[in-house]
Every structure is written in structure tokens, then in C-alpha cells.
């Protein structure tokens, strides 16, 4: 006698999704929080005025926090959320939220000309700094229409900012290299020491005094290329042509 066994996998799950509002230092970046009843990955499909796009965290974990990077101020978002493992999607939900506004004292950004076909794909990263009192340093991302879709308030200016395929941001702040997420949480610092006020997860010591500029992430995203400053003491090195000693 042949017996066939049929297993039916239900979709019941105690997993929970929610949207956490943006913090003052990242006014355009709400966060999707996923608390899962088993280790899983999370996928977020965003529908807004910029169209439809997808964010994903491939790592298997029971807790995920996904910053919604690249959304416009005041935009209404529809979020299709899925949690999945190696076998199947085990939790899903649709949520809606509205992005907050930029602060009233935010720098005015005016795009005078834009030729999307002559720029690299993706968002444009730049810095905006207000000197004097009160001092302000912002990292910004502009979309294809020149609208601000990400803003991060920094204690000091961040230059040479670039985004990696993992979603992290790499740049130079206080003469050291930094790697951070869109919320400003530092994961890595590259430099001779860690500047006061920084608390990264990892410190990579460099054999130089400071990073100067032009910081690039090399293919494979395991190495960086940048210009550094190295100080050396050379006894009796001539400093004037007319007084060589």
C-alpha cells in the first residue's frame, strides 16, 4: 500500500513590525523595527512619490532595524514588509507612515542645473556647513530631482562621503576615516587614534598622522584608498636654500 504524506505549512507567526519615528538628528529617516519569532531576513518594499524600490537585510536575526534611507520630507509611505528564512516567508505586513519635515533652520538647498544622464546612478551626497554661531554641519543626500532625501546632523563636518553596497556610509571626520549607518551610528574608525566623542565598534590603526582627503572604497569593499599626512623628523634637513644648515 502506498501512503502519501502532505505537510501544510501555515503562516501563523508572532513576529511584529512597527515604524519608529525619525530622530531630530536624522529628521527624514524613520526606521522599520522587526521583532521576529525566529531568525530571519527582512525585506521592505517602499512606495512613495519617488516610485517603488526595495531595501533588504540578508542577515538572519530575530531583531532588525532598517533605516528608510532616501525618502522626501512630508511624503506618504506605503511599506510592504516580509520576514523570511531559507525556506519561506513566515511573516508579512503592510504599514503606512508619513515622513517628517526638515527643521526650520535647515540650510536652503537650491539646484541651479541638473543633467541626470551625465551623473552616476543613485543619490548625490554632499556636505552643508554653517560657520559661526550656532555652528551646524549636515551630511545630505539629494535625489534625481534635487530634493533632500536624507539629512544627518554631525558634530563636525564630514567630507568625501560615499555609500557602499551594504548601505553604510564612509567619509572623513576630524581627520580620521569613519564608517557609519544612515542614522550616524559609527561602526569603524580608521586613524592613529579615536577623536574625543567618537565610540565606534571597531578601530583600525593607521601608520599616519591623519587622513587628508580623497577617500575611496576600492572594489570588493575590503580596502580604502585615501591621501594621508605623515610627519617625520629629519635632523639637519635644509629648510632654506640660502641657509642649508
Residues 1-56: tens digit of each pLDDT: 344 433 334 456 799 999 999 999 999 999 999 999 999 999 999 999 999 999 88
Q: Give the range of the structural domain holding residue 171, as residue numbers without chain letter.
A: 158-231
- Domain-located, residue 119: no
Query: End of a domain among 59, 83, 98?
Result: 98
- Domain-located, residue 75: yes
SS (H, E, C) the chain: CCCCCCCCCCCCCCCEEEEECCCCCCCCCCEEEEEEEEEEEEEEEEEECCEEEEEEEEEEEEEEEEECCCCCCCCEEEEEEEEECCCCEEEEEEEEEECCCCCCCCCCCCCCCCCHHHCCCCCEEEEEEECCCCCEEEEEEECCCCCEEEEEEECCCEEEEEECCCCCEEEEECCEEEEECCCCCEEEEEECCCCCCCCCCEEEECCCCEEEEEEEECCCCCCEEEEEECCCCCCCCCCCCCCCC
- When divided into structural domains, the chain yields a total of 2
- Domain-located, residue 20: yes
- How many CB atoms neighbour CB 192 within 10 A? 15
Query: End of a domain among 52, 73, 98?
Result: 98
Query: End of a domain among 98, 119, 138?
Result: 98
The better pLDDT of the pair 131, 50 is held by 50
Q: What pLDDT is recorded for position 101?
A: 96
- Domain-located, residue 238: no
The better pLDDT of the pair 236, 14 is held by 14
- Domain-located, residue 126: no
- Domain-located, residue 94: yes
Identify the band that residue 201 occupies on the pLDDT scale cut at 50, 70 and 90. Answer: confident
Per-residue pLDDT averaged across 142-151, rounded?
A: 92
Give pLDDT tens digits for 155-168: 988 988 988 888 88
**Contact present, 178 and 170 (Cβ < 8 Å):** yes
- Domain-located, residue 77: yes
User: Can you give the CATH number for the domain in which 91 is found?
Assistant: 2.60.40.10
Identify the band that residue 229 occupies on the pLDDT scale cut at 50, 70 and 90. Answer: confident
- Domain-located, residue 103: no
Q: What pLDDT is recorded for position 140?
A: 95
Amino acid at each position: 500500500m502506498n501512503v502519501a504524506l502532505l505537510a501544510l505549512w501555515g503562516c501563523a507567526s508572532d513576529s511584529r513590525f512597527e515604524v519608529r519615528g525619525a530622530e531630530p538628528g536624522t529628521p527624514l529617516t524613520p526606521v522599520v523595527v522587526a521583532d521576529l519569532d525566529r531568525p530571519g531576513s527582512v525585506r521592505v518594499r517602499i512606495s512613495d512619490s519617488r516610485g517603488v524600490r526595495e531595501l533588504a537585510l540578508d542577515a538572519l536575526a530575530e531583531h532588525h532595524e532598517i533605516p528608510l534611507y532616501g525618502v522626501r520630507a512630508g511624503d506618504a509611505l506605503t511599506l510592504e514588509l516580509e520576514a523570511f528564512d531559507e525556506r519561506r516567508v513566515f511573516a508579512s505586513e503592510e504599514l503606512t507612515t508619513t515622513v517628517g519635515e526638515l527643521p526650520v533652520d535647515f540650510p536652503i538647498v537650491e539646484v541651479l542645473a541638473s543633467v541626470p544622464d551625465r551623473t552616476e546612478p543613485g543619490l548625490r551626497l554632499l556636505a552643508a556647513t554653517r560657520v559661526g554661531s550656532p555652528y551646524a554641519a549636515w551630511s545630505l543626500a539629494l535625489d534625481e530631482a534635487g530634493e533632500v532625501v536624507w539629512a544627518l546632523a554631525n558634530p563636525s563636518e564630514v567630507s568625501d562621503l560615499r555609500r557602499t553596497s551594504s548601505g553604510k556610509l564612509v567619509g572623513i571626520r576630524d581627520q580620521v576615516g569613519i564608517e557609519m549607518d544612515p542614522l550616524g551610528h559609527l561602526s569603524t574608525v580608521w586613524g592613529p587614534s579615536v577623536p574625543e566623542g567618537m565610540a565606534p565598534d571597531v578601530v583600525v590603526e593607521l601608520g599616519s598622522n591623519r587622513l587628508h582627503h580623497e577617500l575611496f572604497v576600492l572594489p570588493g569593499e575590503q580596502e580604502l584608498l585615501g591621501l594621508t599626512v605623515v610627519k617625520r623628523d629629519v635632523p639637519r634637513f635644509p629648510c632654506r636654500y640660502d641657509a642649508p644648515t
